[in-house]
Amino acid sequence: MSSLSENGKRMSAKTMQATHQLAALTDKGPIGGFKKFVSRGSMIDMAVGVVMGAAVTAVVNSVVKSFITPLIGMLFGKPDLSNLLTITYNGATISFGAILGELLNFLIVALAVYFCIILPINKLRDMTRAVAGVEEAKPAEPSPEEQSVAILQEIRDQLKEQNTLNK
């Protein structure tokens, strides 16, 4: 027994059933859910951010290791910060200079990512919203009941304060 598929071709009942099961799996099942998850805007933004962050990190690491660390090394008379403050006891070495160097590297990378990626993206978003005419969400005015409750709470607090002062 055969029947016509959606595109007009003849298919057996088993083939039709398998086709419908595959369509259900990809549209509604785990694959469909994954497709929806990946195609959401925030996921794509995150992927772009990770790639851009990795690229900026590589550039900044190069600048730090090739330029900034040697400058600091010139100031302290050492080739790099890892040899700056070291303590050795019973064969164990603690290198405060290496920690300081990595902390400096992290701060420079964080500043570069902020100024090169986050700040421009935020400005672009603000400009896009301004062009589209989207206003920032304003907090809702409290209802008259909420205003009355707030006033009554203030009066109660003042009365409590007066009672404690009079005692």
pLDDT digits (tens, 9 = 90+) for 114-126: 888 788 888 988 8
pLDDT value, residue 90: 92
13-45: per-residue pLDDT in tens?
676 666 666 565 555 666 666 666 666 667 777
Non-local (6+) Cβ contacts of 101 within 8 A are 69, 80, 81, 82, 84
The residue-averaged pLDDT of 74-96 equals 83
Q: Read off the pLDDT band of 74 (50, 70, 90).
A: confident
Does residue 82 surpass a pLDDT of 50? Answer: yes
Domains and CATH numbers, the chain: 1-39 (no CATH), 42-132 (1.10.1200.120)
The residue-averaged pLDDT of 92-99 equals 87
Does residue 91 surpass a pLDDT of 80? Answer: yes
The residue-averaged pLDDT of 62-72 equals 82
Distance of CA 136 to the CA centre of its chain: 21
CB 75 within 8 A of CB 135: no
Percent of the chain with pLDDT over 90: 2
Judge residue 52's burial from the number of C-beta atoms within 10 Å of its C-beta, 0-12 exposed, 13-18 middle, 19 or more buried.
middle
pLDDT value, residue 143: 84
128-159: per-residue pLDDT in tens?
888 887 665 566 788 888 888 888 899 988 88
